Every structure is written in C-alpha cells, then in structure tokens.
Amino acid sequence: DGFFGRWQRRNATGTLPHCIAQLQVSGALDNLRLVTGEATGEFRDMWFADSDVHKTLEAAAWQLTSNPDDERLRAFVDATAALLVKAQGDDGYLNSHYTVVKPELRWQELHYSHELYVAGHLIQAAVAAARAGVGDDLVAVARRCADLLVDRFGGADAPPGIDGHPGVETALVELFRVTGHRPYLDLARRMVDRRGHGVLDGERFGSAYLQDHVPVRQAEEVAGHVVRQLYLLAGVVDVAVETGDEELFDAARRLWDDAFGRKTYITGAQGSRHRDEAFGDPYELPADRAYGETCAAIASVHWNWRMLLATGESRYGDELERALYNAVAGSTSEDGTNFFYSNPLHLRTGHDGSHEDAPSQRLPWYSCACCPPNLARLVASLHGYAATTDDTGVQVHLYSAGAVRTAAGEVVTRTRYPWDGRVELDVTGPVPFTLALRVPGWCAEASVRVDGVPVDVRAEDGYLRLHRDWSDGATVTLDLAMPVRVVTAHPHVDAVRGCVALARGPLVYCVEQVDLPAGVVLEDVRVDPTAAFEPTGLPGVPVALTAPAATVPPGDDALYRTDVPEPAATPFRLTAVPYFLWGNRSPGPMRVWIPTTTTG
C-alpha cells in the first residue's frame, strides 16, 4: 500500500488496459494482422508502431509477476504472443511496416526504419516474459529474431547494422543474460563500437540526432536526440559490464557527468529543445520550453539503474530517484490514462496548447505513442528497482512499503516515503548479512536505529551499511531528515536566474494557478527565499507547502524599459504542490522556478 504499490495498481487498472485498448484503436495490432492475413486494409500509425505492441506486451508480462491470476492480462499476452509467432517470417524477420508496405527496403534504410529498435522492444518483451515465466513462445520468437540479426550483422564482413534509433543493444545484452548465448552480447558490442563513424544517412536529421557523430569511446558530451542518446548509453553500460570493458565504462561515466552536471532539469527531465527532441548546450535549460520527453526520463531511470548496479554509488540512485518521482511520475494523470509526452517546468499564462508537443494538459494518446506503453512497462517493473542482493546481503535503493525476499534474508518495509522520511524495516535472515540503506543525496541528516537503539554509522558511497546477525529479526528505523529545501540553480542556467525551486525529500514542488488567490497572475508571484515554508495538506495532496509570498505587478506594459520603479508588493500566502501532481485538479499555468522578492 506504499507509494510504489499504489502507482503500480493505477498502472494495472488504468494505464495498461488503456494502452491495450489503444493498440486496437491505433491500428498497431491490425498492422500485424495484415501480415498474418487476419486483417485487411492499409497499414496505419507510425512505421515503428510494432514497438507499441511490444512495449505493452512487456508491461503485461511484468504485471503478471504481480498479478499472476489476472486472466484478461494473460489472455492478452497469450493472444499477442500467438499473433507474433504467426507474423514472424521463416527467417525470423518480424516487422509489420516493412513486411506490408515496403518489403523491398528491408534493412535498406536503417537510419530511418527503426527495424532494429522494434526488434529490441520485441526482445525486451520476451526477456520480461522469460523472467515472469509467462512466455516461452515469445522467447522463441525473440531468439529467432535475434539470431537473424546475428546472422546478418554479426559476421566479420557484415554491414555495420546500427539503427538510427538505438535500443536493441541493451535488449541483446538482456537476451544474453536470459539465454547465456554469447553471440547476442557480441553483436551488441559490435553495434556499440560501429556507431559514431557516420555510417548512417544523416542528411535529414544530422548524425548527432542519430547518435552516429562520434564513437562512444571518444564522446565528451551527450548530444542529439535525448532518448536515442540515453537508450544507447544503457546499452553501453550493459556491454561494458558484461565484457569488463573499462574504457567503455569510463565513457559512460564521462557522459553521465556532462548529462547530470549540465543538462538535466531539477525534475530529472532531459531534453532542452523541441527541435530534434535534443539536448541543448551546457546549462541551456529553459523551464517553459523544456522538452523533457517522458521516454527520456524513463531512459534515465534505465541508465542510472545500470550505473548504480555497476558501481554501487548512490549518486546514480539519486538521479534515478529524481527522474522517477518528478519527471516520470508527473507524466501520467492521477487516473492513469492521460499522459504528457513533453514535461515542461513552466506553463505560461496565455500558453497556446494547440500543439501536441506542448499541450496545456495531459492527452490520452499521441500520434507518436512511444511514451504511454513505455510508462506501463516501467511502472509494472518498478518493484524491481527497490532493492538488490549480492554476496554481502541486501541493498535497499528506493523506499516504499513492501517486502523484499531474497536468499540472504527478508526485508519488510513500512514507510510513508516520499511524504515522510521515516523508514522502518523488519529484517530477518538465516545467516548474518549486510543491510545497505541508501541515503539520498538531498538528505543532509540521516540517522538509524536498530530495535530502537541508535547506531553510529556513516554512509559510504551514499549507503549506510549494517552488518549483523538478523536471525532473530530486528527492526531498523531509518530517519531521513526532510526539511523543505530552497534550491537555486548553477548561475550559468540563465533561464531560472533570480528564481528558487522548492523541494522536500525527493519531490520537487511547483505553483499552480489553481492555488493562487483570484486575480493573481502566476508570473507576478514572488517568494522570499528565507521564508519559513511549512508542510500542509490539501485535498489529494498529502504534503503541500505554504509560505508568505507576494504578488508584484509588472508596473508598466513596456516590453523593454529604463527606470521603472518597483511596484508595490501585495502579500499573500503561497501554496506549492508536488510537481508530479500538477495539472490534475484544473489545467492551467504552472511553474517550478519562482522569482524571488530580492530579484523582481
């Protein structure tokens, strides 16, 4: 019944059924039925719409690990797997667009086709099915597809075989992990190494967009299309870890430093430009035109998770948590059936919401529907990110009520996190082991007690480690001090100069028009950064924040002016709500970064 549990229930009852229904409406399933002869008509939707099917299938497979008795879900998985079995060619090829619309161009336009990207999502669905124990058929389909890729692109003289949209790399490594079949890993490594030599046709979008402008090992900055860059980097880490390639891993670290040190929003969103859905220059982080694609935030979770597993360093968990609780969580409506594709940090008064890339409120579906099923698969697998186990014991990375059962021992967690910083863990285990508890980077003061007795332990790499005999069971109480933080940005972030953001625990807050007194224009609000911000409750908002604030009118309509005296400020009490909840009560202006009274 914790935060994750509720999120997963909403996903199971809202998002996932919605996605399944949309697959029918959009034509994505019918496209595959065109291949099998079960449908007639034209190909519909995006040329890579098969990936929506695969992602939804992956979500359903993960969901079945939580709800193994969900018959409707199992029926969807079985029927869809059967459709894919039937739609797959004898050689293993499975792509409805190229099969139906332009079979003669199969593998001929990899810069554009998404064929390997789609194959990657097929493989990911199969990996999920294998781990959920629900889809031998799917694994067989994915292996036939992967074998075809190895056959075509794995040989010494094979063509480069890289896709304009990365994604298949991490899928191949995952399939290697499930099957132990080394050629999948070898192919993923080849793909990583062949990228960056300008082999893709970059005429329309440029080679950075396609992640083909520089070899990964030499790259100094994240660049180009954000989702492409991050999907690639997840695969890079997978390859580096499985092959022990330190040079490659160092490249991932270097690019991480650039991405999270200079090109990430406070919500964890990434992508500063609508044009090309791209990273911007260092510190180019406009709040209003933040692109922050939902899929990019999901990809950030994937990449950070891999970095965390590879290093055990909490800072990767920090960025995973930042993206998860803010950018990812905020992308979905409270009922789970409406979504943001882009995730701005400021919706202006007077915003023109007529563009699908910058709507004024969440929409039920998109012409490019990559995000909703991507959300469904992430949230359905969310429990997998809470904790890990290794030889030393159990590591808890994310705190949510629930139970972790491993060979080493069992950890049952009670907490209201992220609303409260107290986490109680009932720990048992047959032999002594180390319980490692992540102390988030935002937390300046963490304390821990075992059965009520304070323990003097310091975090290393961001983890508090308790090694003991848990055989009699013990209750560990972790207290993460969670004061309201008044955050400023690096001064090179021009877009939010003179502004502060409010945060508490992992949550970033925002101000919505709906909480302002009548007649107050959002852009006129000023906060005193030294004011006492107090937690409070609002209907539907477990912890809102309030503080004295002021509204200051522009004073003059002139766009550019000299010598305009500062108009009088009118005090009022400001309420801020968690960013991830914005737009649920009433669509309207919103902003994360609030100008201060000292700047004007």
Which residue type, as a one-letter code, is found at position 33? Answer: R
CB-based contact 339:366 (threshold 8 Å): yes
Distances (CA, A) of 242 to 188, 210, 341, 388, 450: 11, 25, 33, 18, 37
Q: Which is nearer to its own copies, 109 or 523 (CB)?
A: 523
CB-based contact 266:487 (threshold 8 Å): yes
Binding mask 22-51 for its own copies (x = CB under 8 A): ------------------------------
- The first and second tokens of residue 279, run together, are 């990273």
> Which positions ≥6 away from 18 have C-beta within 8 Å?
336, 337, 364, 372
Residue 358: CB minimum distance to its own copies, A: 9
Residue 532: CB minimum distance to its own copies, A: 15
Residue 59: CB minimum distance to its own copies, A: 30
Binding mask 141-180 for its own copies (x = CB under 8 A): ----------------------------------------
Handedness of CA 577, 578, 582, 586 (dihedral sign): negative
Phi then psi for 332, rounded to 5 degrees?
-115, 140
Determine if 597 is a binding residue for its own copies (CB under 8 A). Answer: no
Question: Among candidates 76, 96, 123, 88, which has minimal Cα distance to 27?
Answer: 96
Q: Applying CB under 8 A, which of residues 13, 471, 530, 599 lies at the interface with its own copies?
A: 599
H helix intervals, 195-245: 226-243
Strand 525-527 and strand 534-538: pairing? unpaired
Bridge partners for 345 per DSSP: none
Residue 515: CB minimum distance to its own copies, A: 19
Strand 507-512 and strand 570-578: pairing? antiparallel
Bridge partners for 394 per DSSP: 389, 435
Residue 439: CB minimum distance to its own copies, A: 16
Q: Which is nearer to its own copies, 41 or 554 (CB)?
A: 554
By CB under 8 A, the residues from 472 to 501 that bind its own copies are 485-499, 501
Residue 433: CB minimum distance to its own copies, A: 34
Binding mask 524-543 for its own copies (x = CB under 8 A): x-------------------
Run of H or E residues at 194: helix 182-194
Distances (CA, A) of 423 to 73, 137, 390: 33, 41, 22
Residue 491: CB minimum distance to its own copies, A: 5
Which residue type, as a one-letter code, is found at position 522? Answer: L
Q: Which is nearer to its own copies, 89 or 282 (CB)?
A: 282
Distance CA 41, CA 23 (A): 16
Q: Is 370 a catalytic residue?
A: yes
By CB under 8 A, the residues from 544 to 583 that bind its own copies are 552, 554-562, 564
By CB under 8 A, the residues from 270 to 329 that bind its own copies are 273-275, 280-284, 286-289
Determine if 182 is a binding residue for its own copies (CB under 8 A). Answer: no
Beta strands in 297-386 (DSSP E): 346-347
Task: Count the residues of the shown chain that bind its own copies, applying the rule CB under 8 A.
Answer: 64
Q: Which is nearer to its own copies, 352 or 472 (CB)?
A: 352
Q: How many CA atoms lie within 13 A of 356 on its CB side?
A: 6
Determine if 219 is a binding residue for its own copies (CB under 8 A). Answer: no
Q: Which is nearer to its own copies, 22 or 342 (CB)?
A: 342
Q: Which is nearer to its own copies, 254 or 351 (CB)?
A: 351
Distance CA 149, CA 92 (A): 9
Distance CA 58, CA 135 (A): 10
Q: Which is nearer to its own copies, 98 or 265 (CB)?
A: 265
Q: Which is nearer to its own copies, 175 or 499 (CB)?
A: 499
Binding mask 234-273 for its own copies (x = CB under 8 A): --------------------------xxx-x-x------x
Residue 508: CB minimum distance to its own copies, A: 9
Burial 555-589 (b: 16+ CB within 10 A, else e): eeeeeeeeeeeeeebeeeebbbbbbbbbbbbebbb
Catalytic residue among 58, 277, 293, 319: 277
Question: Among candidates 520, 589, 582, 551, which has minimal Cα distance to 269?
Answer: 582
Residue 492: CB minimum distance to its own copies, A: 5
CB-based contact 116:110 (threshold 8 Å): yes
Binding mask 351-390 for its own copies (x = CB under 8 A): xx-xx-x---------------------------------
Distance CA 436, CA 79 (A): 42
CB-based contact 55:121 (threshold 8 Å): yes
Determine if 416 is a binding residue for its own copies (CB under 8 A). Answer: no
Distance CA 185, CA 162 (A): 15
Q: Is 283 left (phi over 0), alpha (psi -120 to 50) or beta?
A: left
Catalytic residue among 145, 295, 370, 371: 370
Residue 142: CB minimum distance to its own copies, A: 35
Q: Is 443 a catalytic residue?
A: no
Question: Among candidates 297, 295, 292, 299, which has minimal Cα distance to 278?
Answer: 292
Q: Which is nearer to its own copies, 232 or 379 (CB)?
A: 232
Q: Which is nearer to its own copies, 457 or 550 (CB)?
A: 550
* Contact set with its own copies (CB under 8 A): 206, 208, 213, 221, 223, 260-262, 264, 266, 273-275, 280-284, 286-289, 346, 348-352, 354-355, 357, 485-499, 501, 523-524, 552, 554-562, 564, 593, 595, 599-600
Residues involved in catalysis? 277, 370
